[in-house]
Amino acid sequence: MRWSRNTGTCCWRQAILDRTAGQVLQDPVPLLRRITAPVLLMWGVEDRMIPARNAGDYRAALLHSDLLELSGVGHVLHEEAADAVASRLRSFLAE
């Protein structure tokens, strides 16, 4: 992970891009179909890393799933919509 010399902060965006650049993408559906536990999918409608149109495919592949789509939110839901994410996660865990 790279650290900015000027600010002492981590350059997360570049680190993520570096990490994912060499990965070979595979179809997640066979793995998702093996999950039998309840799953809460949370998706930002503005996600540019994994587009929201993929949410339906994930939900269809998961036997017991629920989907929360957040408008105006991208890939980092827990930061961009922390209150909404925490609220829905609490209710999901209480079910």
Whose CA is closest to 87, among 47, 26, 40, 33?
40
Tell me what pLDDT residue 21 has. Answer: 72
Tell me what pLDDT residue 69 has. Answer: 95
Taking residues 18-32, what's their average pLDDT?
79
CA dist., res. 51 & res. 74, Å (int)? 9
Express each pLDDT in 30-48 by its tens digit.
999 999 999 999 999 999 8
Q: Does domain 26-94 have CATH number 3.40.1000.10?
A: no
User: Is the torsion defined by CA of 50, 56, 59, 61 positive or negative?
Assistant: negative
User: 11-15, 44-48, 56-60, 77-81: which has the minimum mean pLDDT?
Assistant: 11-15
Q: How confident is the model at residue 6 (pLDDT cuts 50, 70, 90)?
A: low
Instruction: Check: pTM over 0.75? Answer yes or no.
Output: no
Q: What is the DSSP letter of 23?
A: P
Tokens at 4, concatenated: 């900015």
Tell me what pLDDT residue 14 has. Answer: 76
Residues in the chain: 95
